[in-house]
Chains A and B, each alone.
Chain A
Amino acid sequence: MLNPELRELYQQVILDHNKSPRNFKKLETANRTAEGYNPLCGDKIDIFLDVENGIVKDISFQGSGCAISKASASLMSTVVKGKTIEEAKKLFEKFHDLITGKLDEDERIEELGKLAVLAGVKEFPIRVKCASLAWHTMLSALKNDNKTVKTE
Chain B
Amino acid sequence: MIVKQEPVEQELKSIYDVYRIREDFPILKIKVRNKPLCYLDNAATTQKPQQVLDTLNKYYTSMNSNIHRGVHYLSEAATDAYEKARVKVKNFINAKSEKEIIFTRGTTEGINLVSNSYGRKNIKEGDEIIISNMEHHSNIVPWQLLCNEKKAKLKIIPIDDNGEIIFDEFLKLISNKTKLISVVYVSNSLGTINPVKQIIEAAHKNNIPVLLDAAQSVNHLPVDVQKLDCDFLAFSGHKLYGPTGIGILYGKENILESMPPFMGGGDMISKVTFEETTFNELPFKFEAGTSNIAGAIGFGAAIDYVTSIGIDKIAVHEGALLDYATQRLKEVPGLAILGNAKHKSAVISFIFDNIHPHDIGTFLDYEGIAVRTGHHCTQPVMERYNIPATSRASFGLYNTLEEVDILVDALKKVIEVF
Task: Find chain A residues with CB under 8 A from B379 CB.
Answer: 42
Q: Determine whether the beta carbon of B374 is less than 8 Å from that of A42.
A: yes
Specify the chain B residue showing the minimal Cβ separation from A70: B356
**Shortest CB–CB separation between residue B269 and chain A, in angstroms?**
39
Whether B362 lies near A127 (C-beta < 8 A) is yes
Report how far A66 CA is from B33 CA in the complex, Å: 22
Residues of A within 8 A of B354 (CB): 19
Could you say which interface size class chain B belongs to? 20 to 34
Q: Which of A6, A19, A67 contacts B356 (CB 8 A)?
A: A67
| Least CB distance, B12 to chain A, in whole angstroms | 31
Q: How far is the CA of A89 from the CA of B52 in the complex (A)?
A: 53
Which of these, A15, A64, A68, contacts B418 with CB under 8 Å?
Answer: A15
Q: Contact: B418 with A6, CB < 8 Å?
A: no
- Cβ 8 A contact of A65, one of B356, B362, B373, B375: B356
Interface residues on A, range: 20 to 34
Contact pattern, A 12-31, Cβ under 8 Å of B = 1, otherwise 0: 00010011000000000000
Query: Given the known A-B contacts A15-B417, A66-B356, A66-B359, are A41 and B389 also in contact in the complex, defined by CB atoms under 8 Å?
Result: yes
Q: How many Å lie between the Cα of A15 and that of B418 in the bound state?
A: 7
Separation of A68 and B33 alpha carbons in the complex (Å): 21
* Contacting residues of chain A (1-57) with chain B, CB-CB under 8 angstroms: 1-3, 5-6, 9-10, 15, 18-19, 40-44
Interface assignment of A134: CB less than 8 Å from any CB of chain B: no
B364 CB to closest chain A CB (Å) equals 11
B324: CB under 8 A from chain A?
A: no
Output the least CB separation between B384 and chain A (Å): 13
Q: Does B29 contact A (CB under 8 A)?
A: no
> Which residues of A sit under 8 angstroms from B262, Cβ to Cβ?
none
CB distance from A7 to the nearest CB of B (A): 9
Chain A, 103-144, CB within 8 A of any chain B CB: 124, 127, 130
Task: Select B366's contact among A3, A41, A43, A67, beta carbons within 8 Å.
Answer: A3
> Are B388 and A43 neighbours in the complex by a CB distance under 8 Å?
yes
Q: Which of A6, A65, A68, A130 is in CB contact (< 8 Å) with B363?
A: A6
The reply to whether A1 and B358 contact each other, CB–CB distance below 8 Å, is: no
Measured CA separation A65–B417 after assembly (Å): 17
Considering the complex, give the chain A residue whose CB is closest to the CB of B363.
A6
Nearest Cβ distance between residue B415 and chain A, in whole angstroms? 12
Q: Which of A15, A18, A41 contacts B388 (CB 8 A)?
A: A41
- Let me know if B58 is at the binding interface, CB within 8 A: no
Say yes or no: B359 contacts A64, CB within 8 Å: no
Instruction: Indicate whether B413 reaches chain A with its CB closer than 8 angstroms.
Output: yes
Are A67 and B418 neighbours in the complex by a CB distance under 8 Å?
Answer: yes
Judge whether A68 and B359 touch: CB under 8 Å: yes
A67: B residues at CB distance < 8 A: 355-356, 359, 418
Q: Are B375 and A42 in contact (CB under 8 A)?
A: yes
**Do the beta carbons of A42 and B417 come within 8 Å of each other?**
no
A41:B374 contact, CB within 8 angstroms: yes
Does B348 reach chain A (CB closer than 8 Å)? no
Cα A19 to Cα B359 with chains together (Å): 13
Which residues of B lie under 8 Å from residue A40 when comparing CB positions? Answer: 374
Binary contact track A52-87/B, C-beta < 8 Å → 1, others 0 = 000000000000111110100000000000000000
**B370 CB to nearest A CB, Å:** 13
A43 and B374 CA atoms in complex are apart in Å by 9
> A residues within 8 A CB of B251?
none
Cβ–Cβ < 8 Å partners of B382 in chain A: 42
Taken together as a complex, chains A and B put the C-alpha atoms of A67 and B418 apart, in Å, by 9
Q: Given the complex, which residues of A lie within 8 Å of B413, measured CB to CB?
A: 1
A2 touches B356 (CB 8 A): no
Chain A residues contacting B373 (CB-CB under 8 Å) are: 41
Cα–Cα, bound, A21→B281 (Å):
64
A126 → chain B closest CB, angstroms = 9
Contact for B417 among A2, A66, A68, A130, CB less than 8 A:
A2
Q: Give the distance to chain A from B116, nearest Cβ to Cβ, in Å.
A: 25
User: Does B357 make an interface contact (CB < 8 A)?
Assistant: yes
Given A40-B374, A41-B373, is A6 in contact with B362 using a C-beta cutoff of 8 Å? yes
Q: Chain A residues with Cβ under 8 A from B356's Cβ?
A: 41, 64-67, 70
A67 to B373, CA, bound (A): 14
In the complex, the answer to whether B374 meets A10 with C-beta atoms within 8 Å is no
- Asked whether, in the complex, the Cβ of B357 is within 8 Å of the Cβ of A41, the reply is yes
User: B8-36: which residues lie under 8 A (CB-CB) from chain A?
Assistant: 33
The answer to whether B358 and A66 have CB atoms under 8 Å apart is yes
Of B33, B355, B362, B388, which is within 8 A of A42 by CB?
A: B388
- On chain A, the residues within 8 Å of B359 by CB distance are 10, 66-68
With A15-B418, A41-B356 known, 4 other A-B pairs at CB within 8 A are: A42-B374, A42-B389, A43-B358, A64-B388
28 sampled A-B residue pairs with Cβ under 8 A: A3-B33, A3-B366, A6-B362, A9-B362, A18-B418, A19-B418, A41-B356, A41-B373, A41-B374, A41-B375, A41-B388, A41-B389, A42-B375, A42-B388, A43-B388, A44-B388, A64-B356, A64-B388, A66-B356, A66-B357, A66-B359, A67-B355, A67-B356, A67-B359, A67-B418, A68-B359, A127-B358, A127-B362
Please give me the 10 A-B residue pairs with the lowest Cβ-Cβ distance, nearest first. Answer: A66-B356, A66-B358, A42-B388, A42-B389, A42-B375, A67-B359, A3-B366, A64-B388, A66-B359, A41-B374
